[in-house]
Amino acid sequence: MLGAMTFLIGTSVPSTAADFNPFFVAFKSAVARNDAKAVAEMTQLPFLFDSKPRDSVAFQKIYPQLFDAKVRACFAKAKTLVEEEAQVVNCGRYIFYFRVVKDRYRFIEFAADPEAEP
C-alpha cells in the first residue's frame, strides 16, 4: 500500500498566491509532459515515500506511482486550495501539498486518501 508523508527540512515563510502561480504553472506543465526530472527539481528532497527518504534519482523512480494517468489528468484541471500555509491539490486518492521552503515553492508532501476511489 502506498501511503506516506514527506519529511520537511527548512522553514516556511509566508508568500502570496501570486508567487505560487508561476511555480504551479511550471509544475503542472512538467506533470503534463510526464517529466519526472523536472518535477523532482521542484520537490523538497529528500522526499519521504514508503517510510524511506528519496533523493532526486529515487524520486524519479517512484514518480510513476504518484503521477499516474489519472493524477496527470487531474493536474491538468487542478485548482489549489489554501490549507494553513500550504497550497493543496486534491486528486482523489492523493492530496498534494506545496509550501515555501527556503524562499521558494516546493512540492513537499502527499497524503493518500484510503477512502477515495482508485
Tell me what pLDDT residue 8 has.
37
Question: What is the three-class DSSP state of 101?
Answer: strand
Give yes or no for residue 1 having a pLDDT over 60. no
Quote the percentage of the chain above a pLDDT of 90.
Answer: 73
Residue 102: left (phi > 0), alpha (psi -120 to 50), or beta?
left
For residues 36-40, average pLDDT: 98
18 pLDDT tier (thresholds 50, 70, 90): low
Q: What is the CATH number of the domain that holds 50?
A: 3.10.450
Q: Is residue 2 part of a domain?
A: no
Number of structural domains found in the chain: 1
Helices (H), 1-117: 17-32, 36-41, 56-66, 69-77
* Range of the structural domain that residue 98 is part of: 17-112
Q: Is residue 29 part of a domain?
A: yes
Tell me what pLDDT residue 16 has.
54
Please give the Cα distance from 9 to 88 (Å, whole number).
Answer: 19
Per-residue pLDDT tens digits for 69-104: 999 999 999 999 999 889 999 998 899 999 999 889
Please give the Cα distance from 75 to 34 (Å, whole number).
Answer: 11
